[in-house]
Amino acid sequence: MTTAAARIAAVLPDPRERSWFRAPGRVNLVGDHTDYNEGFVLPLAIERACVVAAKPATTIRMRSLDADGVLEVPADGGTDPASVEPSWGRYVAAVAHELAARGRPAAGVDAVLASDVPLGSGLSSSAALEVACALALAHAAGWGLEPVSVAEACRSAEEMATGVPCGIMDQLASVAGVEGAALLVDCRSLETVPVPLPEELAVLAVHSGVTRALAGSEYAARRRACEALAAKLGLGSLRDATMAQVQHDPFGRHVVTETERVLEVARLLPEGDVERIGTVLSESHASLRDDFRVSIPELDVLVEELVAAGALGARLTGAGFGGSVVAVCERSTVDRVVEHASRRYERRTRRTPTAFTCRAAAGAGRIAPGGASVAA
Ligand code: GLA
């Protein structure tokens, strides 16, 4: 049972009168700022998830157990998300809008939601919220979309709610996650291939304690710079650029080398070459720090201390500018790595990190009232 589901069950008089949905957050093993360049990414859906328990109603009415305020908007998705309060409700209003644009009949829900994905941690708390709400809204209307289309609708909703022109990785990882596997996603075709994770490899997510800031404007600026470079090279996207074409442009260099790193890690995982996987992750961090310039000193210190404490490799995960680091280590060393690195990081930055071991979880879907997953 997820904690979010248990928390919801505890406040409902009859949990069984509702339909329950769960959508996971994600940690990206490797491949950042490649998705909107139509490259490859390798995220895994994690056990931490957003859960929504809904019953039919005339409007869309939602209460969150993690934030104040009650959202209430008409069921037809016609509300402009920018005008919605509480602010977390903008994601929900944007999802309703995007689903209506794809043909969802107007049907309301009365819902309670809760999430175990820490906000602003770079682990896709907003994608989890969007996908969980999308499933609840689709179900209430007796209507459905293919999983990839759910991800596309939720990606558009994220952009509408925040103004950030994000890529598809987070929402796709949330819908398409596979237990025990990372997902190799081709962000051009949107094809996902599960790549099982070796049992001995532990994947750690470590939050720096710095909530993502400035991500919106800097993110959009990076995306524009990549698109301008592709246009200058006469390409539709940097996916098709060669190293020779981008060697003097640090942003382009990051995108091309990062895509190579994703494909290399996807090849190394089945071989179980955990040492080399760690090295490639650390190379990814250096590229995000030096070439793509989306790191901050805290993330650099965290990566350094995790590796010094015995992790095989570590890198910032997600957009950067704060949030979390992903580290890989031999399972037997996890406790020691976390303890040593946390102590040193805290001493150097005066910030408290939060670490947890990620288990690759299944993608979003319906769950039984209060917890365990049920077949759709
Ligand atoms: C955020 C975006 C994703 C992706 C990453 C960087 O998480 O939502 O689409 O671009 O940043 O890889």
Helix axis angle, 169-176 to 147-162, nearest 10°: 140
Summarize the confidence of residues 140-160 as an average pLDDT: 97
Q: Domain 4-189+363-371 carries which CATH code?
A: 3.30.230.10
Residue 375's pLDDT is what?
A: 52
pLDDT at 87 over 80: yes
Position 26: which residue type? R
Supply the mean pLDDT for the chain: 96
Summarize the confidence of residues 238-259 as an average pLDDT: 98
Question: Same CATH topology for 4-189+363-371 and 197-358?
Answer: no
The residue to mutate among 29, 170, 211, 281, having the most atoms of ligand 1 within 8 angstroms of its beta carbon, is 170
Name the burial class of residue 247, with classes exposed (0-12), middle (13-18) and buried (19+) by CB atoms within 10 angstroms of its CB.
exposed
| % of the chain residues with pLDDT over 90 | 94
**What residues have CB less than 8 Å from 173, skipping those under 6 apart?**
24, 26, 28, 43, 44, 45, 124, 127, 183, 185, 363
Summarize the confidence of residues 257-265 as an average pLDDT: 98
pLDDT digits (tens, 9 = 90+) for 7-55: 999 999 999 999 999 999 999 999 999 999 999 999 999 999 999 999 9
Name the band, by pLDDT with cuts 50, 70 and 90, for residue 217. confident
Identify the residue whose C-alpha is closest to ligand 1 atom 12: 32
Where do the structural domains in the chain lie, given as residue ranges? 4-189+363-371, 197-358
DSSP per position, 260-298: HHHHHHHHHHHHT-HHHHHHHHHHHHHIIIIIS----HH
Summarize the confidence of residues 205-231 as an average pLDDT: 89
Position 175: which residue type? V
Position 2: which residue type? T
Ligand 1 centroid distance, CA of 41 (Å)? 10
Q: Name residues contacting ligand 1 (CB within 6 A).
A: 32-33, 35-36, 166-167, 169-170, 318-319
pLDDT at 81 over 60: yes
Residue 109's pLDDT is what?
A: 98
Contact assessment for residue 108 and residue 56, using Cβ atoms and an 8 Å cutoff: yes
Name the band, by pLDDT with cuts 50, 70 and 90, for residue 1. very low
Instruction: List strand residue ranges (DSSP E) for the chain, in order.
Output: 19-30, 40-57, 59-64, 70-74, 108-115, 181-186, 191-196, 201-207, 313-317, 324-330, 354-358, 365-367
Name the band, by pLDDT with cuts 50, 70 and 90, for residue 374. low
List the beta bridge partners of residue 273: none
Report DSSP state, residue 57: E
Summarize the confidence of residues 355-372 as an average pLDDT: 95
| % of the chain residues with pLDDT over 70 | 98
Give the residue numbers marked as catalytic: 170
118 or 312: which leads in pLDDT: 312
Query: The tokens 């570590």 sit on which residue?
Result: 314
Domain at 197-358, CATH homologous superfamily: GHMP kinase, C-terminal domain (3.30.70.890)
Torsion of CA 101, 102, 105, 111, to 10 degrees: -80
Report DSSP state, residue 360: B
pLDDT at 376 over 50: no
Ligand 1 centroid distance, CA of 39 (Å)? 12
pLDDT at 222 over 50: yes
pTM of the shown model: 0.96
CA-wise closest residue to 363 among 53, 38, 22? 22
